[in-house]
Amino acid sequence: MLPALYVVVLVCLCGLAAGASHIPAYASLAGRSDEEIALFMRNHPTPGAQPPPPPIKDTSSKLVNDRLHPWLPLLPGQIRGVCPGLNTLASHGWLPRSGVATPGQIVTAVQEGFNMGSDLAQIVTYAAMLVDGNHLTNLLSIGAKSRLTGPDPPQPALVGGLNTHGVFEGDASLTRGDAFFGDNHSFNESLFDEIVATSQQFGGGKYNLTVAAEVRFNRLVASEQSNPEFFFGFPRFGTAYAEAAFPLTFFIGGPAEDNVPTNLNASLDLDVMKGFFRDSRMPKNFHRREGPLGLDIIGGALGFLSDAHPFPPGFNTGAGNYTIDQRAVDILTGNAEIDLLCALYLTFVNTTIELYPRPTGLLRKSIAVNLHNLYLPLVAVNDSAGCPEQFPFGKF
């Protein structure tokens, strides 16, 4: 309990030190004036962006719900958010239990706790860091608001954190509602009950890829029919399928042959699944999967899901009035000069420019470094040839 309490106290003190600016150390600085940023810099340590940590060396399966990483209930002020993977790592102490971490800590923790491949870990983490994190303190919240955040800043400033709608968090999540309906981040019991019913119908009472494809499609149809602002273009198109597969790639654990994509028939117990999704809790004796799951092998699982029930990328203008995004379709079908990974990269480049039109000094340099950190895994999978690196904030 002590370390967690200590963190809460520290966060409290930071909040006070922020004084008149009211900006928590982890909040995004998008939309802030130069004066606010200068004041923020006087009141916080600002290490700025850092290079990503090296991949972990030992990627064997091992006990991760161990004596050093017990599940502990939430204390006031600790933040959890949209991602059951990160929530669970924080509630077991693989990430700071506060729910506020550096991107480097997140990249390492998803490898240590779940054996996510370092390339996939870097892409997802630095994409999130760019649009939801604080580039000066080098901190990202895995949720957003807490009692310590204070009142919301005026628009267009963002409270920041992964719960922020539109930049990364998106519509038609498995167990979270659409932002349009108010709460885009809390676990929704009736949505989980829908997963249970679908698992009974299509998975013999367990969550498997057949169930995942049905759930994924049902959620898309529900949002398309009811959410007048439903958005299913980039980047959401890329992340929505991955999230439906992640429970089967990471929450089963143990030998590779027990997990998707090595075994496309793998299935997940629903109580275990609910433990992760609702309680941020690993089952007793949980061993991380054998071997990393990275960009090279995730594709098979995503293809299974989208082929089972194709749903073209697009957006609503009014409930049920869906417009297909033809440019995105061309990218997905290989009829464009760039591929999906490059499109995701360029989307995050564009969003970052929109969020930070004229950054200066350390802020500008740190955004440039984090943009480079996002690009690094593309070089590693040799996607870089058809997807030149962008330098809208200069080279550092």
Ligand X SMILES: *[C@@H]1O[C@H](CO)[C@@H](O)[C@H](O)[C@H]1NC(C)=O
Give CA–CA dist 33/205, Å, rounded: 53
Judge whether 140 and 102 are in contact, CB under 8 Å.
Answer: yes
Q: How far apart are CA 114 and CA 289, in angstroms?
A: 6
Which of ligand HEM, ligand X, none binds 210 (CB below 5-8 Å, type-dependent)? ligand X
Q: Which amino acid is at 115?
A: N
- Residue of 183, 133, 126 lying closest to 158 (CA atoms): 133
N- to C-terminal Cα separation, the chain: 41
Cα→Cα distances 79→86, 118, 143, 250, Å: 11, 24, 6, 22
**Least distance in Å: CB of 282 to ligand X?**
24
366 binds, among ligand X, ligand HEM, none (CB under 5 to 8 A by kind): none
Q: Which does 84 bind (CB under 5 to 8 A by kind): ligand X, ligand HEM, none?
A: ligand HEM
Q: What sign does the dihedral 283-288-290-296 (CA atoms) show? A: positive
Q: x/- binding map, residues 62-101, to ligand HEM, per CB under 6 A?
A: --------------------xxxxx---------------
Between 171 and 383, CB nearer to ligand HEM: 171
Residue 346 contacts ligand X per CB under 6 A: yes
Residue from the set 201, 321, 326, 335 that interacts with ligand X by CB under 6 A: 321
Exactly one of 4, 27, 30, 116 binds ligand HEM (CB under 6 A); that residue is 116
Residue among 124 and 272 whose Cβ is closer to ligand HEM: 124
- Name the nearest CA neighbour of 53 among 106, 97, 124, 129: 106
Backbone angles phi, psi at 306, to 5 degrees: -75, -30
For ligand X, which is the closer residue by CB, 65 or 208?
Answer: 208
Our finding on whether 224 is near ligand HEM (CB under 6 A) is: no
Binding site for ligand X (CB under 6 A): 144-145, 163, 165, 177, 179, 183-185, 188, 190-191, 203-204, 208-210, 263-265, 317-318, 321, 323, 343, 346-347, 350, 382, 385
